[in-house]
Amino acid sequence: MPQKTPAKPPPKPIGKAALYIRVSTDAQREEGYSIDAQKQMLEAHCVSRGIQGYEFYIDGGYTGSNTDRPELQRLLNDAKAEAIDCVIVYKLDRLSRSQKDTLYIIEDVLNPHNVDFTSINEHMDTATPMGRLMLGILSAFAQLERENIRERTRMGMKERVKSGLWMGGGRVPFGYDYDRENGVLVPNQDAETVRNIYRLYMKGYSLSRVAQMVGLKYEKLAYQILTRKSNAGFICYNGEEYMGRHEPIISLETYEQAMECLRSRSVKKLFTSEYLLTGLLYCGACGAKMRYQKWGKSGCKLVCYSQDKSKTHLIKDPDCGNPKVWADDVEDLVVKDLFRFCVEKRQESSVPPEQGVTDILNEQYAALSAKVKRLYTLYASTPNPLLLETVEEHQAELSKIMKQITLETERNTVSKKIKTLKTSITHISDVWDVLTPTERQDIVRTLISRVTVTGDDVCVDYVF
């Protein structure tokens, strides 16, 4: 007797359906995505399926990139409480544009509580195996589209800043306002504070002191303003720099000089001693280093390490007879010489610069390059071995000029550093009295390479 095929179980009855609708700000203007349009299609689906009990959950003006939506959270809570039997959406991306969030909602919330999920547009029903397969595929495509939108946005932003326009919106640099109509930064009343930060820092004040003097709450704010290249008319985006259309608060030269000062101060050796010349003192008799030594209540004297038997590795001549001298006297001589040096460099900086060698070489290279291009054009129309030979000679000459330009550029880098130092010291004598001991040490160690003491004779060597 043939066995009877067991009858298929009847479909699960749907007691109450949750009809979820989401519209973002942009989607509200798109045909077919409005709240009313989604309502009509969801209600029509319920009629065709014979679903009489349903409730709308509507999130208006919310992005689908996360689950931070009030009505979605209410829906998930109702699902966990098993107050609904099915969730229906017009399209999968109405639920979420994130693959991770979509899978979490369906796999971790709806399925464990026996709540089915239906998307009308994709004809997907998680009550069926095919629907569950489609879920993973379509969620992946929703995630891909979101990433494509993000990439297009980034590309559009890059094109925007390449054209010189500001990135827009928040994080407007201190000293500027954002002109939304023209897409550029405009200097405001704080621009003068920005200029003062550069002036004071390049005069030798520490960033902590600069912040106090201009009325900033933290030293970090002064550092952030100082290192911001937008002050010189540039836009920095994703590690690249573009020339902006906005008005610079400072010149590019001022910015580069400030950055050179910052680098030179950060790489110098740090000393914990309170004494001005620690680490710079050398004995003129034997060449050993010298140190400060307490001399009763009268102050300190400078002593050659060759005369200090406790540190044998620093002894140059055990019989060194260089006399001990008062430290205050040597410091006074060094400071006076430093001021004299500053005056000389101030006069040098007032001499107008001549045309640099690099400029001349670049002009030669450009002229010869143009000539080679014309010869190539002529050779293309009239092939001639003599023309080709001339081109090769010019190419060899271009190679020589380029090597000279490279060497000269390296020299200019050193010269530029020296020029930066010269600019930063022109007013040291004016501010010396109000500087802290640490700031004075900072300046001395930036400008002086060594101080040689031979009795009462003091010789100061500068870094340039």
At residue 179, φ and ψ (nearest 5 deg) are -90, 100
Helix (H) / strand (E) element for 406: namely helix 385-425
The catalytic position among 24, 96, 98, 139 is 24
User: Reduced to 3 states, what is the DSSP secondary structure of residue 178?
Assistant: strand
**Catalytic residue flag (residue 24):** yes
| Residues 70/39, Cβ–Cβ less than 8 Å | no
Report the 10 Å Cβ neighbour count for 92.
Answer: 22
Helices assigned H by DSSP within 111-218: 129-162, 191-202, 207-214
Q: What angle do CA 392, 393, 397 make, to 5 degrees?
A: 115
Note the residue count of the chain: 464
- 313-322 contact pairs (CB < 8 A, 24+): 314/288, 314/289, 315/288, 316/283, 316/286, 316/287, 316/288, 317/285, 317/286, 317/288, 320/283, 320/285, 320/286, 320/288, 321/285, 322/283, 322/284, 322/285, 322/286, 322/453, 322/454, 322/455
Q: What angle do CA 450, 456, 458 make, to 5 degrees?
A: 20
Strand extents, DSSP E, 193-285:
234-237, 240-243, 281-283
Nearest Cα residue to 219 out of 228, 211, 227: 211
User: What is the Cβ-side half-sphere exposure of residue 428, based on CA atoms within 13 angstroms?
Assistant: 28
Q: What is d(CA 443, CA 431) in angstroms, rounded to the nearest whole number?
A: 11
Structure tokens that stand for 18 in this block: 């949750």
| Residues 320/283, Cβ–Cβ less than 8 Å | yes
Q: Is 324 exposed, middle or buried (0-12, 13-18, 19+ CB in 10 A)?
A: middle
DSSP state of 108: I
User: Reduced to 3 states, what is the DSSP secondary structure of residue 223?
Assistant: helix
Spatial CB neighbours of 333, under 8 Å, sequence gap ≥ 6:
458
Nearest Cα residue to 321 out of 356, 286, 350: 286
Strand extents, DSSP E, 255-375:
281-283, 290-294, 300-304, 325-326
Catalytic residues: 24
